[in-house]
Chains A and B, each alone.
Chain A
Amino acid sequence: MDFLNAIFVQPFADMAAAPDFLLQVVWEGLVGGVLYALIALGFVLIYKSSRIFNFAQGIMVVFAALTLVGLHEKGVPALLALPLTLLVMLVLAVAIERAVLRPLVNQPDIILFMATIGITLFLIGFGEIIFGGENKVMITRELMIPTDSITMDLFGGFVSIEEKDLTSVIGSVLLVAALLLFLNRTKTGRAIRALGDDHQAALSVGISLSTIWVVVWFIAGVIALATGIAWGARAGVSFALEVIAYKALPVLMLGGLESVMGAIIGGLAIGILEKLFEVYWGQPLMGGNTEAWFAYVLALIVLLFRPQGLFGERIIERV
């Protein structure tokens, strides 16, 4: 009875008793969720346009953030380092397309997936040689991101919001809006979506596969940079950041591999739910650190009922 009480009653009683704390937890979850959604978006874009499950998205986040900080350490002013980093990501996109994707066109999915793991290893080694393995501090102040915190009095308590978190949420919303505009309103964006629908048909109306791939990988690189800045501001920049790629995978499962909307909603849902679960169930009942697997188990349960995720394209199989 005590046990059932601890699972089904106590957590909700705690939530009702301290709504300000609940709000704080939800906010923390939301900020995490926005970042998951961003990484998942990088995955979705590449998957949609090339059917490649890009495992390297996580290391691209690290690589972009490290390049930015590394350039700044070399004495490049922050506002110049930003476009330079974008240039590096463009070069990376071209290099990946030339050296890896083009020779592997038309191979089975798993081979391309393994190739992106190869890219991941390569970038880890390359990044560590150039930038070193130690933890670096994100140049938040130099990029003119406010770092104070706002405290609001609510429900007889207070909720404290870090300004850099607020910035990252607003920035992400703007980035996603820009991306959606790009995908839906420009010629290149339409070409990307056409490629996602049908490779052969897209090729036959004159869409260049290799150009689009470079564009898509570059956009993924831009998203990676944005994620890297936001996450780096919270936790510092190091190769440990790579694990956030693993956190984005259940988001993909939940939202569906092909759905931009799914990535965003799935990311926010997982971010908030895993925080709530950790605080109200994980820590009191299971010794904490449930964030490592909660998202996966949640996604697994959803998948049992909807094998294509919440927003994925319906899987139709023909024999």
Chain B
Amino acid sequence: MLYRTAGQFKTSYAADHALFPVRQDAILLGVVLVFAFVVFPLTASEFAFRALLIPVLIYALAALGLNILTGYAGQLSLGTGAFMGVGAYACYKLITLFPEMNIVVAIALSGFFSASVGALFGLPSLRIKGFYLAIATLAAQFFLVWLFQKWAWLYNYSASGAIHVPNISMFGITVAGPRAAAITQYYFVLGIVCVVTFFAINITRGRVGRMWKAVRDMDIAAELVGINLMRAKLTAFFVSSYIVGISGALFVFLWRGAAEANLFDIPLSFRVLFIAIIGGLGSILGNYLGAILIVALPVIISGVPAMLGIRVASATVEHLNVMIIGALIITFLIVEPHGLARFWAVIREKLILWPFPH
């Protein structure tokens, strides 16, 4: 009843190609956007911004980048964390070398650095496939993190080896740094995430996206029908690392405020990969659902003992957390290997027919 698609006729190709051919999808998205832009900012506390909303958006963006590479182009990568690091360090150098540069420009530019590095480390993908490639991307992971530690120029020779975000303002409002308000940062991240997501939806629908999917499904067959494998794989690495780099810059500048090299180590790569897989490979929506799950779960789990009135040592809670997340990942993979996005697709199918059985 609510989701009835009957009666929505397309009378032109333009209407058929629309981003949301089904009216209810567009309305639902509108509702979500109203929540994101109006309801959450009005109701959320400082803690909710810092611990839930901002990280969900940033992780979702990183997972979106990885999903383009793994879910759409079929190239498994375990080096996401390091590419986020490239974005973050590039943004830091840009901001400190050119202090008058607008932060949006700096973030957009820093994406190009990680994109180039990503394409460089994507070169082996032309010869290596599957798990061999996954391990090859680990080479990027370990080499880059080592470089972040040893190349003192990157962190401006600071004694701690960490980068600290200065106060950066845009049009008179402080958006990043210790003095920035959480709500400004939230809007800033939300804006960038919306723009990138729009871009990603369209690129995956278009010619490039279809090229990637053909390569993912079977690269030799794709080559035989005339797809240039080198171009397809390298553009996938380039676009994916660009988005991942932006998310890395946001990660440090709009959320963490400071970073050391080991922040970008392999656990970060895995967390992003979890989000992409639990959300659903080859889906844009899945990244957000996965990010909500992976970011919110630890917060919820650590809140449970307090709610029940049980006193548990915080270390134990942390370990329990890790254990439960491990178990949940396995459970999710068993219940729905195609991720949360598939869950939503199934529910939507049911809703379209409801309340009729057929």
A-to-B contact residues, CB < 8 Å: 53, 99-100, 103-104, 107-111, 113-115, 117-126, 128-129, 133, 246, 249-250, 252-253, 257, 286-287, 289-290, 292-293, 296-297, 299-300, 303-304, 307-309, 315, 317, 319
Contact = CB atoms under 8 A, between A and B. Distances in A.
A253 B337 contact: no
Contacts of A317: 220
A297 B281 CA distance: 28
A293 B150 contact: no
A292 B142 contact: yes
A45 B315 CA distance: 36
Across the A-B interface, the 4 shortest Cβ-Cβ residue pairs: A125-B323, A121-B326, A122-B326, A296-B139
Given A103-B334, A108-B337, A307-B127, A293 B316 contact: no
Contacts of A111: 277, 333, 337
Interface stretch (B227-235, B249-257, B266-274): B266-274
A55 to B, nearest CB: 9
B interface bracket (residues with beta carbon within 8 Å of A): 35 or more
B249 to A, nearest CB: 24
Q: Which of A286, A296, A315, A317 has the most CB of B within 10 A?
A: A296
Contact of B146 (A114, A289, A303): A289
Contact of A252 (B135, B316, B330): B135
B169 interface: no
A129 B312 CA distance: 12
25 contacts: A109-B130, A117-B274, A118-B327, A120-B326, A122-B330, A124-B326, A125-B324, A252-B135, A253-B135, A289-B150, A292-B146, A293-B142, A296-B135, A296-B143, A300-B124, A303-B124, A303-B127, A303-B132, A303-B136, A304-B127, A307-B127, A307-B132, A308-B132, A319-B218, A319-B221
A114 B323 contact: no
A104 B135 contact: no
A300 to B, nearest CB: 5
Contacts of A99: 330
Contacts of A118: 326-330, 333
Nearest to B139: A296
Contact of A122 (B76, B220, B221, B323): B323
B105 interface: no
A42 to B, nearest CB: 15
A114 B333 contact: yes
B26 to A, nearest CB: 32
Contacts of B277: 110-111, 114
Contacts of A126: 323
B333 A104 contact: yes
Interface in B219-241: 220-221, 224
